[in-house]
Homo-oligomer: A and B are copies of this chain.
Amino acid sequence: MKNRKGRKGEESRKRLLKVAANEFSIRGFHDTKVSTIVKRAGLTQPSFYLYFPSKQAIFEELITDFHSRVRHLTESLLLESGIKQTDVSNRVLSAVETVFQFLAADLDLTRIGFFLNPDAKQMKKDLAMVLKDNLEAEQRLGYFRSDLDMETVAECLIGIIEHLTDSHLLPGSKDPASLAAQVVNLLIYGMLPNQGALQKRGDIR
């Protein structure tokens, strides 16, 4: 009832974030003008500064948003991988698909957090480390070749995800599920035509 610090303000703030995300995503930081954000949000410039101390600040808030979502994602991936599963490739597939799904959920934010964020490098490195830990655990269980450097594998995966996100997810030309399937099929079985793999491939899709 005493919903102080009102509803309307909260909505204006959200609208600003939404519009800003879109503008940044399309135009990048510098070519995004506060005046445009505000116009699209149906407000005037001073109102912007009612909710955010600066243009830089709203940009960083979006990045932080993305960051915390990424954290949740990695946590859920860890949980998932903790659960015993018989089929490794299905495990990996599901993880990769989850990531693509996550990245597809808010394209503007993904562009900002993944491609515009000047500190994206670090974040990707963190992500790679989580992946690496998972992969190494499974490697120790004999599910993966023991001579692979899982750090590099993780980084390759990140690179793949990054690029496919940019080239197919953001433009909307492919969906998370099929991207994941193809990536995992490639990484798990490799490019060589080896017989044993062919049967298992059926399991994935």
Contacts and interface: CB of A to CB of B under 8 A. Distances in A.
Interface of A: 28-31, 88-89, 121, 124-125, 142-149, 152-153, 155-156, 158-164, 166-168, 182-183, 185-194, 196-198, 201
B160 A193 contact: no
Given A121-B167, A167-B121, A191 B155 contact: no
By Cβ-Cβ distance, the 6 closest A-B pairs, closest first, are A159-B163, A190-B190, A30-B30, A159-B160, A159-B159, A189-B190
A135 to B, nearest CB: 8
Contacts of A187: 186-187, 190-191
Tell which of A30, A124, A158, A186 has the most Cβ of chain B within 10 Å.
A186
Contacts of A182: 149, 152
A62 B153 CA distance: 33
A163 B152 contact: no
A6 to B, nearest CB: 13
A161 B156 CA distance: 8
A121 B201 CA distance: 31
Contacts of A145: 189, 191-194, 197-198
A194 B159 CA distance: 25
Contacts of A164: 152, 155-156, 159
B191 A194 contact: no
24 contacts: A28-B30, A30-B31, A121-B166, A124-B167, A144-B191, A145-B193, A148-B185, A148-B186, A148-B191, A152-B164, A152-B186, A155-B160, A155-B167, A155-B168, A156-B160, A156-B183, A159-B159, A159-B161, A159-B162, A159-B163, A162-B163, A187-B187, A189-B192, A194-B194
